[in-house]
Chain A
Amino acid sequence: MKTFLPLWLSLFVLTLGTAQEVTVSGSIADADNGETLIGATVVAKGLDQGTTSNAYGFYSLSLPARDSLTLTFSYVGYQPQQLSLYLTKDTTINVELGTGVELDEVVVKANSYREQINSTEMSVEAISTREAKILPVLLGESDILKTIQLKPGIPSGSEGRTGLFVRGGASDQNLIVLDEAVVYNANHLFGFFSTFNTDAVKDLKIYKGGFPAQYGGRLSSVIDVKLKEGNNQELSGSGGVGLIASRLTLEGPIKEGKSSFIVSGRRTYVDLLTSQVNRANEGNEDFSPIPDYYFYDLNAKVNYKFGEKDRLFLSGYFGRDVFGFDGDFFDFNFDWGNATGTARWNHVFSPKLFANTTFTYSDYQYNIENRITGFSFGIGSNIEDINLKTDFYYTPNNQHTIRFGAMATQHNFTVGRLQAGSDDGIVSFSAGQSFDGLEFGAYVSDELELSEAFSANVGLRFSGFNNDGKTYVGLEPRLAARYKLSERLALKGSYARMYQYLHLIANAGVTLPTDIWYPSTERVAPQRSDQVAVGGSYILGDQYFLNLEGYYKWLDRQLQFVDGAQIFVNDNLEEEFAVGEGRAYGMEFSIEKKQGRLTGWIGYTLALTRLQNFETLDPNGRFAQESEGFGPFNPIYDRRHDISVVAMYEISRRLTASATFVYGSGDLTWLPPGRFSFQGIEGVPFEAVVPDFRERNNFRLPAYHRLDLGLVIKFFPKWGKAI
């Protein structure tokens, strides 16, 4: 760190000195609906100068003043636009790109590949909503978060097992943000669906490594989901009636050219059927009523353009899973879900300085209410965040894009809240802990173009966390570099240190809605990781993009449960933790084809993860894995090989067929190699088989493979279109 910081500062100072330039800046948007375009390219013809729009559609390009200049704006899937300018002073140009004309797809896709070659970013995967809609994941429903798990390095759990396990990270090590608000549980229906309604999502990007300095708080991945802004040209709607859920989206302008909205909702309706079955069987003593289950979610967003320099966005998400049973003497209700809210202000201070300031609210909770005549029982947990952050983009010249910002999040935790007792108040039980935590961070980074071939992104993040007087702080250096050997081949490398101040308390088997988020405390130190990745990207012909990466990750202060841990209703949860370290390494390969009737990709991941050196926080706690000398062990999600093949074939304008094939080495599981019989005490039956669990995760299940075939038929009614 000491060596590269002065280098970075000196470059910064030197480049500030170069002037005699003017700046072209503005935003790039979709002409059909006004959505800002992320990563659109701006190139000055003949000058070999260019840039891309940032996450908010804003771009800034410094050019020498001249009488005649041609700028080309382009974006994957859109008609490029050329503008000739008389450039003598700083100029704002807002561009809208259309899709109405058939494109020379080869050129556009090749440009997309070249952007990936040119970028210092590595270990990044993105998925478009179009791809997600063509690749349905279950019963015809599309799901953008499930679809991205087909990319290399992001093995999902097996069927019925939720969570993402990115490059050997645990399921709590993924930072999932929806319009910059944290989503703590991105699952519906025990993981068969994600909380993201594909109709409302604009863009999803996942970082597996090489994390930019603006991101922090989780060790293994950042999943950045952005909602659509709403069509500012015309009122439009879309919807669908599926086998298990229906959805509806409406979007349109509020004030033309100034403001637009989008509202999107969906709900499952199996409960409507089961409630009718229950009603039809009322009075039938042999019939056991079927519990009701449904989930729903609602996304809404509005934006208002105050002028050329200011734009305000308000967005929100609310979703719940509801499981309920009402009996004569016995009621049981279980609900869980997220709520998020985002207020975001974009301001252009100058053609070179852009700011994004965000206020977010995020809440995840589960509640179980159980009532038996005269007694009630309630249990729940909750995490609530209030966050304020600001990010600045400063582009002093085309060789530097400097980002800096700061954030603070107030976390409120309620862990294992229990209230139980009799209606008359004679008997009462209660349990639970409450914590407040303040997480804070500040960062600075610079995207440096040192030469035509060599560019780097150098950053430093400072983060910290305070809980009940105990403060942890950490410095997180970030470095990503790209060296272009040719226009087709680039070598890349990155290093990132990450701190994670929150921990998910989950059992070893599956991720459940009842898993608990737990803060770092006096005894529970924050998790930490260091990841190094190297790789190369190559454009093969005009159609194929090859990517190869290897990584090594050090994981410190990892939490596991001690043997016999009591997770539910425990006021001393820390006594149940063992703390150790992990190592994860592997390689990922992918070949992608984005053009032509046949598109798709093949991905392969080779990975190994192991955990070791665990010590219990409670001196009397037991962790047989270490105390009985079994040594390092692999977590359940340690999957050696993962292959995915995704193909989409456009048969006609109306028909698109898809096929996905996944193959993965079997997950690990903890099976008992032995058993014993246990007689017990008077009045308690003999237990014939008590499993004797020994070494953790000692058995690998058979390999998993699955083939999904899909066919999407588009109808074109006069009043719109449908999928």
Chain B
Amino acid sequence: MTRNILLAIVAIATVASACNLEQEVEITLPEYDSRPVIEAYLEPGKPFRLLITRSDGYFDEFPSIDNFPGGLLYDSAQVSITHQGVAYELDNQLAFDPTAGKLYNYASSATVPENVGEPFELYIRFPDGTEAFAETSLLPRVPIDSVVIEFPEGDMPEDTLARALTYFTDDPSQVNFYRRVLHAGSLDSLQQDFVADDQIVDDSLIVFGTGFDYAEGDTVINTLYHITEPYATFLESLNAAVSANGNPFGQPSPVISNIEGSANALGIFTGLIYDRRIDIVEQ
């Protein structure tokens, strides 16, 4: 009796372990209404320009080569940016910035004035009658004080690699937000991109570091953006959304944009003020 029961248990366990242990799950997501996505950056000295695309259902097909970028871009909207009482109309025209490698579908020939603290107001009216609006202003540039290249002390092969420490001075009298972007060699080779604020800093000196990654002769490009709180919130929520995409440890978050209005649009309207330093790694 005992033996038979044991045999039965072993047989059940064998059958169970032979089952397909990897199961695919089919997901049917809820209905989704497409929304306009707006990227509008004000860079002093550069034309007023912005990109309006549209969001899609998560499992919708991406635009094919035949209808790209038309399948992605949101055209035929009326766009204006008002500053110091002057309304700058942005035409629905495709423009490509070869230096930055970025595409825009609304632009004006007028350039953005560097008026720190003065508000810019964005207004968009879409063909379906819905509207979107936002407001922002330019912040003062925060210069990079110094970039220190540091080699480790040692004679191992890996000790020939250096790190870069980027120092800058924060204004402790107000809450500031920064975006630190680091490239190696060229602007095509992104090494770091993150948002930080000065609320955890004990004094006014802030440093951003790197790993021991750079050989003698390498180029390190530091860019320090002084950004608004809505832009910092937008970037953090966007990063959270991206990192939670399939990551069970992630904290999902809707993207928090500073665009308002009946169009239910997503996106950001902000100034881009930065300081950039290019350094060659030397012993």
Q: Do A and B come from one complex?
A: yes
Say which one of B51-59, B84-92, B133-141 lies at the interface with A.
Answer: B51-59
B residues within 8 A CB of A692? 32, 35, 55, 58, 241, 254-255, 266
A676→B53 contact, CB < 8 A: yes
Question: A386 in the interface, Cβ–Cβ < 8 Å?
Answer: no
B241 near A691 (CB under 8 angstroms)? yes
User: Are A711 and B241 interface neighbours, CB within 8 A?
Assistant: no
Known: A675-B58, A684-B181. A564 touches B152 (CB 8 A): no
Q: Is A670 an interface residue (CB 8 A)?
A: yes
Q: What's the interface size class on A, roughly? A: 35 or more
- Whether B249 pairs with A509 at a CB distance below 8 angstroms is yes
* Nearest chain B residue, comparing its CB with the CB of A697: B252
- Judge if B93 is at the interface, Cβ distance under 8 Å: no
The answer to whether B242 and A674 have CB atoms under 8 Å apart is no
Judge if B283 is at the interface, Cβ distance under 8 Å. no
Q: A676, B54: Cβ atoms under 8 Å?
A: yes
Chain B residues contacting A689 (CB-CB under 8 Å) are 242, 245
Contacts of A687 in B (CB 8 A): 238, 242
Pairwise interchain contact B249-A690, C-beta atoms closer than 8 A: no
A563 & B58 in contact (Cβ 8 Å cutoff): no
- The answer to whether B249 and A698 touch across the interface, beta carbons within 8 angstroms, is no
| Contact code string A664-693 (vs B, CB < 8 Å = 1, else 0) | 000000111111111111111101111111
The answer to whether A428 and B30 touch across the interface, beta carbons within 8 angstroms, is: no
A281 at the interface (CB under 8 A from B): no
CB-defined contacts of B83 to chain A, threshold 8 Å = none
User: Quick one: which of A385-431 are within 8 Å of B by CB?
Assistant: 418, 421-422, 426-431
Smallest CB separation, A469 vs chain B (Å): 25
Distance, CA A508 to CA B240, complexed state (A): 12
Residues of B within 8 A of A100 (CB): none
Chain A residues contacting B211 (CB-CB under 8 Å) are 329-330, 372
Number of interface residues of B (CB under 8 A): 78
In whole angstroms, what is the CA distance A702 to B247 when docked?
18
Contact A564 B181 (CB under 8 A): no
Q: Are B251 and A509 in contact (CB under 8 A)?
A: yes
From A421, A512, A571, A701, contact of B249 by CB (8 A) = A512
Identify which of residues 4-48 in chain B touch chain A, using a CB-to-CB cut-off of 8 Å: 5-6, 9, 12-13, 16, 25, 27, 29-32, 34-35, 37, 39, 41
Q: Across the interface, which residues of A come within 8 angstroms of B221, CB to CB?
A: 683
Instruction: Please report the C-alpha to C-alpha distance between residue A670 and residue B202 in the assembled complex, in whole angstroms.
Output: 38
Main secondary structure of the interface of A (DSSP, over half): loop
Q: B278 at the A/B interface (Cβ < 8 Å)?
A: no
> Does A510 have its Cβ within 8 Å of any Cβ on chain B?
yes
Q: A residues 613-657 with Cβ under 8 Å of B?
A: 622, 624, 649, 651-652, 655, 657
Tell whether, in the assembled complex, residue A375 and residue B2 are in contact, meaning their CB atoms are under 8 Å apart. Answer: no
Distance in angstroms from B201 CB to nearest chain A CB is 6
Does A707 lie within 8 Å of B16, measured CB to CB? yes
Residue A229 at the B interface, CB < 8 A?
no
Residues of B within 8 Å of A571, CB to CB, are 199-200
Interface check B103, CB cutoff 8 A: yes
**B99–A709 contact, CB under 8 A?**
no
- CB-CB under 8 A from B188, the residues of chain A are 683
Contact, CB under 8 Å: B209 / A651: no
Neighbouring A residues of B199 by C-beta, 8 Å:
431, 571
Q: Known: A657-B9, A683-B190, A698-B30. Contact between A673 and B158, CB under 8 A?
A: no
Q: Given A430-B200, A624-B254, are A709 and B245 neighbors across the interface (CB < 8 Å)?
A: no
* Contact (Cβ within 8 A) A694 B254: yes
Structural contact, B27 and A699, CB atoms closer than 8 A:
yes
Cβ distance A719 to chain B, nearest Cβ, rounded Å = 26
Give B234-273 interface residues, CB cut-off 8 Å to A.
236-238, 240-242, 244-245, 247-256, 266, 272
Q: Is the CB of A509 within 8 A of B200?
A: no
Question: Does A567 belong to the interface (CB within 8 Å)?
Answer: yes
Taken together as a complex, chains A and B put the C-alpha atoms of A375 and B200 apart, in Å, by 16
B34, chain A: closest CB distance, angstroms: 7
In this assembly, does A99 line the interface, its C-beta being within 8 Å of a C-beta of chain B? no
Q: Are A429 and B202 in contact (CB under 8 A)?
A: yes
Instruction: Give CA–CA (A679, B53) in the complex, Å.
Output: 10
Q: Is A695 an interface residue (CB 8 A)?
A: yes
Chain A residue with minimal CB distance to B72?
A677
Pairs across A and B, CB under 8 Å, 7 listed: A509-B244, A509-B247, A561-B251, A676-B54, A676-B55, A692-B55, A699-B27
Given contacts A329-B211, A675-B57, 4 further A-B contacts (CB under 8 A): A509-B244, A564-B236, A676-B37, A685-B190
For the complex of A and B, the 8 pairs showing the least CB-CB separation, nearest first, are A564-B237, A676-B55, A682-B100, A683-B187, A673-B32, A431-B200, A507-B251, A674-B32
Q: Which residues from chain B sit less than 8 Å from chain A, CB to CB?
A: 2, 5-6, 9, 12-13, 16, 25, 27, 29-32, 34-35, 37, 39, 41, 51, 53-58, 62, 72, 99-103, 150, 152, 156, 158, 163, 167, 181, 183, 187-188, 190, 193, 199-203, 205-207, 209, 211-212, 221, 223, 233, 236-238, 240-242, 244-245, 247-256, 266, 272
